[in-house]
Amino acid sequence: MRYISTRGGMAPAPFSDILLGGLAPDGGLTIPDAYPVLAPGELAGWRGLSYAGLAWAILRKFIDDIPAGDLRALIDKTYTADIFHSEAITPVTSLGDGVWLLGLSNGPTLAFKDIALQLLGNLFEYALLKTGGHLNILGATSGDTGSSAEYAMRGKRGIRVFMLSPHQKMSRFQTAQMFSLQDSNIFNIAIRGVFDDCQDAVKAASNDAEFKARYCIGTVNSINWARVAAQIVYYFKGWLAITDRDDQPVSFAIPSGNFGNICAGYIAKRMGLPIHRLILATNENNVLDEFFRTGIYRVRATDQVLHTSSPSMDISKASNFERFIFDLVDRDPERVRMLWQQIETQGFFDLSGSVHFQAIRDSGFVSGSSTHQDRIATIRRIYQDSGIIVDTHTADGIKVGLEFREEGIPLICAETALPTKFEESIFQALNRAPERPAGYEQLETLPQRFTLMDADVTQIKAFIAQHAA
Ligand SMILES: *Cc1c(COP(=O)(O)O)cnc(C)c1O
């Protein structure tokens, strides 16, 4: 398999060449030159596989330039009951009435991002050991992504992580989760300021080409292709867990921000998994819901992004969306370039009157959005009906998913975080705190390790230079 860019300006490259990269050199996103399609009977043959076995069956189709034995070993080392707290890795739980919860949040940081990032950590380490190179990952976080990246990269040879976060602005749980890491390759930098100050500092440091090259600065942001690929696996796992007929259509409801999770579902469908609908749920930041309803993709200014109680979906634009649009416009890179040019100049593009509007419908996507009141009501309702507590993001997905319920078609709702990460909202909904999984009870009392700094790029760069791999 070769990878190309959605903007057409990259020579087809093998997986290993795009693994460590972010954007393609032409500013587009990397994508397979063609999706692998399942052979007849192939899906049936996957019943009974372990998660790692299934991941191997699927990922080897996308990663064909790492020796088979090595890739299998990396996958086996990633998807263990030790790291994900159950043999199933992504267990399904019935919510009753043909509705299921797909548990994606049982990894180290209790959010679904671990599923991809844990694999990414092992792939990065493997690639760097092969080339003898090293990597200094620089990032900014307001909570979830940073901790997931740190837990994936901790103790990895050749890799250091420099993660900027706004001082005293994350939840106590999130702060403790990151700052209690004692690994010598993890550097938490608490910035006196807000998240945007952190983000600006990262951008300024990354824009210094000489600094970037000299210290091998990289990122682990959500546009990384390997993250999308790793997420394809659990769509198959969820489907296999609740079906016994090989053509049984199932719908998935996915709480969405950067379009990474549901993009993987879309690719699973393109590979031949019988997915009926991909139900995309947003919170009040409804950029994507607007697109799937109207055909208009209108990005927001950063100061228009609302701070909601499902904060990991508070986005101004969906960074993975270009992959879907590339397919939608029949893989015409010229057209993609034009559309993103329109975003630059006018802030939106409009496919409502175009031939592609029907293709949006045909793609299987439907969408809706959810508000704070909706998620509180959903958390209450699910708890009353089943005794299960879901987090705010998961609640957004369930709320919208149930609006698209269809007779005879099971609905799988993705659980993207555990409720303990968002205790405040759970308390508001249920007047009780969710239970903590074993091992996390004392998190806030562990010793914390971080460096406090001003949002001063010179000072931050000096710190990285001093501690770089
Ligand atoms: C990141 C995140 C999302 C959104 O996922 P995307 O891949 O950006 O669409 C949803 N829920 C939680 C808990 C997250 O951390």
Task: Indicate the SS3 state at residue 20.
Answer: coil
Distance 182 CA to ligand 1 centre (A): 26
Q: Residues 263-270: what's their mean pLDDT? A: 98
144 lines ligand 1 (CB under 6 A): yes
Distance 416 CA to ligand 1 centre (A): 7
Q: Residues 346-362: what's their mean pLDDT? A: 93
Question: How confident is the model at residue 22, as a pLDDT?
Answer: 78
Which of 375, 365, 328 is CA-nearest to residue 349?
328
pLDDT tens readout for residues 4-58: 999 999 999 999 999 987 788 899 999 999 999 999 999 999 999 999 999 999 9
DSSP 260-278: HHHHHHHHHHHHT--EEEE
Placement of tokens 């299934």 in the chain: 54
Question: How confident is the model at residue 150, as a pLDDT?
Answer: 97
Binned at pLDDT 50, 70 and 90, residue 415 comes out as very high
Q: Which atom of ligand 1 is nearest to the CA of 258?
A: 8
Distance 288 CA to ligand 1 centre (A): 13
143, pLDDT greater than 80: no
151, pLDDT greater than 90: yes
Pocket perturbation via mutation, ligand 1, pick of 109, 117, 231, 261 by most ligand atoms within 8 A of CB: 261
114 lines ligand 1 (CB under 6 A): no
Distance 58 CA to ligand 1 centre (A): 22
Pocket perturbation via mutation, ligand 1, pick of 112, 279, 400 by most ligand atoms within 8 A of CB: 112
116 lines ligand 1 (CB under 6 A): no
pTM above 0.75, yes or no: yes
Pocket perturbation via mutation, ligand 1, pick of 142, 170, 258 by most ligand atoms within 8 A of CB: 258
More confident residue, 199 or 185: 185
170, pLDDT greater than 90: no
Question: Distance between CA 172 and CA 179 in Å, rounded?
Answer: 10
> Which segment of 162-166, 167-171, 213-217, 408-412 scores lowest on mean pLDDT?
167-171
Binned at pLDDT 50, 70 and 90, residue 335 comes out as very high
- The catalytic residue positions are 113
% of the chain at pLDDT higher than 90: 86
Q: Residues 381-393: what's their mean pLDDT? A: 97
CA-nearest residue, atom 8 of ligand 1: 258
CA-nearest residue, atom 2 of ligand 1: 312
Question: How confident is the model at residue 199, as a pLDDT?
Answer: 85
pLDDT tens readout for residues 77-131: 999 999 999 999 999 999 999 999 999 999 999 999 999 999 999 999 999 999 9
Handedness of CA 307, 435, 108, 175 (dihedral sign): positive
Question: How confident is the model at residue 279, as a pLDDT?
Answer: 98
Question: How confident is the model at residue 246, as a pLDDT?
Answer: 92
> Which segment of 15-29, 236-250, 446-460 scores lowest on mean pLDDT?
15-29
149 lines ligand 1 (CB under 6 A): no
Question: How confident is the model at residue 328, as a pLDDT?
Answer: 96
pLDDT tens readout for residues 226-235: 999 999 999 9
Question: Distance between CA 152 and CA 17 in Å, rounded?
Answer: 21
382, pLDDT greater than 80: yes
419 lines ligand 1 (CB under 6 A): no
Over the chain, what is the mean pLDDT?
95
Question: How confident is the model at residue 76, as a pLDDT?
Answer: 98
CA-nearest residue, atom 7 of ligand 1: 260
Binned at pLDDT 50, 70 and 90, residue 396 comes out as very high
| Full set of structural domains in the chain with CATH | 92-110+225-430 (3.40.50.1100)
Judge contact between 246 and 301, C-beta under 8 A: no
Q: Residues 426-440: what's their mean pLDDT? A: 95
DSSP state of 81: H
Distance 326 CA to ligand 1 centre (A): 22
**Number of C-beta neighbours around residue 216 at 10 A:** 18
DSSP state of 66: S
Strand partners, 414: 102
Judge contact between 22 and 219, C-beta under 8 A: yes
Distance 362 CA to ligand 1 centre (A): 25
Question: How confident is the model at residue 219, as a pLDDT?
Answer: 83
Judge contact between 99 and 400, C-beta under 8 A: no
